[in-house]
Chain A
């Protein structure tokens, strides 16, 4: 009895989140970090909203002189960037990070340290971004940062703040996306098959996957632009063979999915709230399918932002068709909610009110979206206030209202306090009415000739009346959000304590106490249906292996944080997975990256180099296996008790999946480079441009053959390792490393001996940058291989445990590098010779 109590106390202690000032920086648990994401992004939301109010004051009448052009342009740039990058996505990611483990029945997200790293990069990125106000160099090129306006010489230091700050924010968003995907795929409670996942989980799974592709594209685009600005590459400079439309393609290839990255999780919230209030969900499968279709199709819509750039007619029609198709997917979700609510006599509490407000507002925004998909119509309203109206109907109606619904719905679980119903209703009606008063007249302003992003307009356009209405509305809208903020703070102090399941909902998060404990579930829950809280699970039906695993994890293990990993499809238990506890390493890694960005910002390249070294060192500490942890794990009997491995390998291992997602990101990044290469080539009259010599075919094929061939010894190493042949394993690994080093040496020689510089023209820039990217990839593969080599000398007998996993990941990464080498060789060396 005593030992059980002792075990329980130790379990709670293991899961206790660090307290106090220093503890704040070592936090890795998803709940405090999810909250931080939400609070930080909501603060940015309020700042972005305040900027909007200032702009509305400037536009209240024609020829107004309240702000002047410079400040106005800065404000709309910062407003858009803040709302899109610093508020919408991080807020939803925060909500997802908080809720996912609770909803799927795991104890934390898949990579707790990565959660912290993502938060810190996001926070630091946001701070760098806003630091532009302190130095008086505020970005003013719009949230879309079209070149050449965002390039030199049209934009100065302020644009570097924008690019580098956002690069950090994007990294934060990207890792949170990976986190969400990996968690949903691997950490679901036993029995929660894909078809039993809550719809919110479906939605954020889709959004997470989209983030991986879309954010990587944006990250690469911002890197290319920053290189143009900082080191004089010519990707976007039309005078040296670059192409300004390349930026627009890359930006909107991110930018359109971005809208759905925001919208899909919002629909997930709506599905949950609707189901809770209607006490059922109709069309679950159709909704899930609609989510998947939307995610796919959203990557085929980007050109509808470019109808006026002078593209070929055929491509415009293709994108018009895709744009109309995505409306069908949204329509499906819409009618599923109507069918769900039909005759259910829901209680009109605040979460439902926001959902109903969402339905009306988003419907209108969706319909104007259908309108602008019609090509000639878009020619007229593109870049006018009609679009301003449309996008706010879609983003405020389609995302902010659902977020508010989600806050009123889930805050009781997060804070343990109910929000006030009366204040909530006031807030809703103010926001709903204020929203429509603000944005509805903007449709008309667009028709009457008011372009976007103008700080003023002549009286003769006859727009004063509508602008006055919109400005009045914007203050009503702001008041609505203010009421929520007040309500929130009152509830923290005096709110009614929340019950476990105040709304009578169906999903797992409502089965734990409010506020939710940091370990979420004392024992992994059992899931046998889509509505685990409505249909009491029947333990009789549980298979013995699952029962054993769940029982073994009841309040255990006590020595370290752990959760169950399960099969991607069937959610059958596969392993016990140790989760990282509090550590400062992610903070240091994020700090290093920030120093790197600040170094580039100021042109202090030694500082940048120092930041890089610091980041690499932090990553080294992060990734190098901790002997103490390994010992604790090896001494633990949790694996035997659960009947599951504690050291999982291959597809059972979250680490292996982490490596896969990293490679997906890298592949996307290289894809962006290849796309840029061929896009610029497509519009070049001669290739290579500027009569530069064709790439030589003497030495390069040999060097690239060595790189591609280095995959072979890695393969031998894996085989020998499994056979237990230590010396052969080591020799093979050494051979691969040697070939990799030879390639790097050759690459440096090759780039140094080229008779042109990367600043010469776009071709030269592409050649250098793609080569250098491959070089960086090899330089990353080398330490991974070296690490395997060093550990192999001692751990070669660990053929089923940690070393096996390390070998798998090493091989995976090395094979990827070899494959990328082959493609780069084709793109850079072979394809220019083919006419």
Chain B
């Protein structure tokens, strides 16, 4: 009898050990005490965060996360999130930092905060087969794919409605790579996602030449921010200053060059660093002065 109740007790402890109750203290102290920072990354949006051919988790966000953990002087625990959970997990404090290509939007701001400054400049494009669709106006009545969890599901029809009365048909995929495959197979006419992600997926398949942005333009500019939980300004400041320090001392630059520089894994022709206006400030990064 005693033995069996001990087994039940053990089982309960086993379950409870996965459950930690939320503490009221700031994450700054909590992370220091814990010695581990939990950073959420996606795994299906190259070049920001993805699984490569060898099965390694890699990408710009992943490297940046590693650098942040090093700067904080704590161990890094990577947590897998996806487009749907990258914000939900912050809100329920399953992760301390969300580094998963999150564009800053107002509706997201209600659930989370962003560290300052944004760390990457990008924008949503409609990606389609070359020459098939001339302008955004022609997208009316067409099938458009987005990631499930992307704000484009609502925003893209609104954008298209500016030019034409025909409503597009929206499909939402579990990740961009699946969406691109569907685009290649002709299941959708255009895919809406951030420009560098689509370019990178197409380049991996050797198809970059066959696709283009509709109208050659970004329809919705976006700035990626490092997500931190809502209502924890100490933690937010901490991460902001860590990011800014990295921008000052060249860590950020090194990671940026590794991914997007001319010799990087996914070279970009434009400068996607968050920077101050060129004619006034030269090409300075946007960092708060001391």
Q: Do A and B come from one complex?
A: no
